[in-house]
A and B are shown apart, each in its own frame.
Chain A
Amino acid sequence: MGPDEILARLGVTEQWEVRGDGRWVYAPGMDVRAMARLMLEIEVRWVTLTVSPAAEGGFRLLYHWDLDGSLLTIAVSVPGTRAETVSDICPAADWAEREARDYYALEFAGRKGMPTLMLRPEDDPGLFSRTSELGRHEDPADSARLDGGGDAQ
């Protein structure tokens, strides 16, 4: 099955943008669970999930897949902090979803459990979101600042 047929099967009307790093499509209304089912059925390999905070709020999710060497990137938007899981269909997505919660407190509906991956169990999710302004304008490794401005020994 080719990339165009994949979009047709998923009911996506937008077209692929063909670029040097593969094909990209923004499919805001796409059913991500149907996408995962189709990809697994036709043996399109999971690459990963990239989550980024969106400028207008919420998150932008990029699902990356490998179709016989061609990288397919399917972008969807999540207005709040809740997306749908695909990990019950495509277990390869499990760690990427858990990591997204660790970093951005993004929850994935439909999961049986959502243990931390990189963080400790007692840590609050959303490490990157909580610290989004920290270190932006100064050296985060400045030991004097971390020591409260005291003399560094």
Chain B
Amino acid sequence: MSPVIPVGPYHPALEEPYKIELHCDGEAVRSADITVGFNFRAIEWLAERKNYTQDLALVERVCGICSNVHTLTFSRALEQLAGIDVPLRAQHIRVVVHEAERLHSHLLWAGIAAEVIGFQTLFMTCFSLREKVMDLLEAVSGNRVNYAMNKPGGVNRDIVDPAMVTATARHISAVMTRDLIPVFTTDRTVRARCAGVGVLTRQEALAWGALGPVARASGLPQDIRKSAPYEIYDRLDFEVPVRSEGDVLARIVVRALEIVESCRIIEQAVEGMPSGPIDAGDFLPVPAGEACARIEGPRGEAFYYVASDGSDVPVRVRIRTPTFQNMPTVALMVREQTLAGVPLIQASIDPCYSCTDR
């Protein structure tokens, strides 16, 4: 009988609580079972009992990293229901914050990956760069984590110092291009730990509905900023990095290149920002009906479904987060890998259990 090694729900190798049971043959992992739900808060249930204003604050707490994703997607679902057009300036601001959050998320993840790899200097560099993004988000929103920027019909605050935003984006792009991308792509330590490790094939990614950088690192060029553009993405010039290897290194490279693309997007969004209002006015009452909304979060597509009966409380709210789709693919990635590789492989999807468990 092969030994079963339980990791988690609370373990130094895990960022958040979940459990992975590894069925091993010596040092080799043969299969894995994943258990989630340790953070379950029944947020969909709660959202169906609170009014739309309360729900906006509630969904921002789905995740501590991509909180803006949730208010943006929820707001867009309500805008679809109510037929609200968001002013152009507000769309620019939304894109700036959306991409800054992607920078924050990817740099946080890159730092954690560097730490798991055992590359402490790289970890320090990533986190010092991430600090610049946190400062940017704080300067724009007043908050470092839950920014409370979005509301149905627009945003709550204007960008008062656009030059600071542009300068930060340029600085991050320069450091990424000059220092971090070469290290992440060519350093022997990184390559030894990541190349050919934890492969998810293109067909597996498709069958399991993988999203975001996980899918793009397995050769699926899906990014709804391109395929179903929202806000002003159809007016912006940016690339969607795609790799075909499907391994941990490919996931690192995709995210690293996405950081540079996000900086390009922020620069364009700030420089092209028109004058005008930043919200369309009161969004209430929300008419009866149902609507879906999707946005491309740092970890992949976030999906919201909202059904309204015309009252101030939704009758159904469905939230599908990207890690909810990506997490099951870890069981495929760890097969026939070494036990020592599991912490890095599971981290390579940039998992968020707060998002998953909702």
| Chain A contacts to B: CB under 8 angstroms | 20-22, 40, 43, 45-48, 50, 52, 62, 64, 66, 68-71, 73, 90-96, 103, 116-120, 127-128, 131, 135-136, 140
Contact = CB atoms under 8 A, between A and B. Distances in A.
A47 B303 CA distance: 8
A118 B318 contact: no
Nearest to A137: B49
A140 B324 CA distance: 26
Nearest to A43: B206
Contacts of A92: 207-209, 325
Interface of B: 36-37, 40, 42, 44-46, 49, 77, 80, 206-209, 222, 224, 226-228, 291-294, 301, 303, 305, 307, 315-316, 318, 320, 324-325, 327-328, 357
A91 B292 contact: no
Contact of A48 (B80, B222, B315, B318): B318
Contact of A91 (B49, B207, B318): B207
Contacts of A96: 320
Contact of B292 (A46, A64, A127): A64
A131 B48 CA distance: 12
A71 B292 contact: yes
A96 B325 CA distance: 9
B246 to A, nearest CB: 16
Contacts of B294: 47, 71
28 contacts: A22-B292, A40-B207, A45-B206, A46-B209, A46-B325, A47-B303, A48-B320, A50-B305, A50-B318, A52-B316, A62-B305, A66-B301, A68-B227, A69-B224, A71-B292, A92-B207, A92-B208, A92-B209, A92-B325, A94-B328, A96-B320, A117-B36, A118-B37, A118-B40, A127-B45, A135-B46, A135-B49, A136-B49
Contacts of A95: 324-325, 327-328
Nearest to A131: B45
A90 B207 contact: yes
A21 B320 contact: no
B307 A52 contact: yes
Contacts of A127: 42, 45
Given A45-B206, A48-B303, A52-B307, A120 B37 contact: yes
A2 B224 CA distance: 18
A93 B324 CA distance: 11
B40 A119 contact: yes
A52 B308 CA distance: 12
Given A68-B227, A69-B227, A140-B46, A21 B207 contact: no
A94 B332 CA distance: 14
A40 B249 CA distance: 27
Given A50-B318, A127-B42, A70 B80 contact: no
Contacts of A52: 307, 315-316
A94 B74 CA distance: 25
Contacts of A64: 292, 303, 305
Nearest to B291: A21
Given A21-B80, A68-B227, 5 more contacts: A52-B307, A64-B305, A91-B328, A94-B328, A103-B45
A122 to B, nearest CB: 12
Contacts of A48: 303, 318, 320, 324-325
Contacts of B325: 46, 48, 92, 95
B31 to A, nearest CB: 14
Nearest to A93: B209
A18 to B, nearest CB: 13
A128 B45 contact: yes
B208 A91 contact: yes
Given A45-B206, A91-B207, A95-B328, A118 B303 contact: no
A103 B40 CA distance: 12
A113 to B, nearest CB: 11
B49 A45 contact: no
B209 A45 contact: yes
